[in-house]
């Protein structure tokens, strides 16, 4: 059995395209200390909910882990109190 260990030119080109780095987003809540996460602030929470009603992940929103957890808790509280829908029609 013989294996082909040579890399194709097309594979190398794809690797170069994938290595493009994007600038890391800054957490909005860390940057502005006055910006507080509150479950009653529905307009702010809607920015972090997708069109289908799911909570957007950190890699998309740019939040730090601490504020993403607080945001998740606030969205879940708002859903429980029917301020924000669970599923968007």
3-state secondary structure labels for all residues of 28-59: HHHHCCCCCCCCCCHHHHHCCECCCCCECCHH
pLDDT computed for residue 8 by the predictor: 58
CA dihedral 42, 44, 48, 50 (to 10 degrees): 50
Indicate if the pLDDT at residue 16 is higher than 70: no
- Identify the band that residue 23 occupies on the pLDDT scale cut at 50, 70 and 90: confident
Structure tokens that stand for 14 in this block: 């794809």
Q: What is the mean pLDDT of residues 79-87?
A: 94
More confident residue, 53 or 4: 53
Check whether 10 has a pLDDT greater than 80: no
37-77 pLDDT, tens digit each: 999 999 999 999 999 999 999 999 999 999 999 999 999 99
- From CA 50, how far away is CA 28, in angstroms rounded? 18
Query: What's the CATH fold of domain 25-89?
Result: 30s Ribosomal Protein S18 (4.10.640)
Domain ranges within the chain, ordered by starting residue: 25-89
């Amino acid at each position: 059995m013989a294996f082909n260990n040579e890399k194709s030119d097309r594979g190398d080109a794809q690797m170069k395209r994938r290595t493009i780095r994007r600038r890391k987003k800054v957490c909005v809540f860390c940057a502005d200390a006055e910006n507080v996460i509150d479950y009653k602030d529905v307009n702010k929470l809607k920015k972090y909910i997708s069109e289908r009603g799911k909570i957007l992940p950190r890699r998309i929103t740019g939040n730090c882990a601490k504020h993403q957890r607080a945001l998740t808790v606030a969205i879940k509280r708002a859903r429980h109190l029917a301020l924000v829908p669970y599923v968007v029609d």
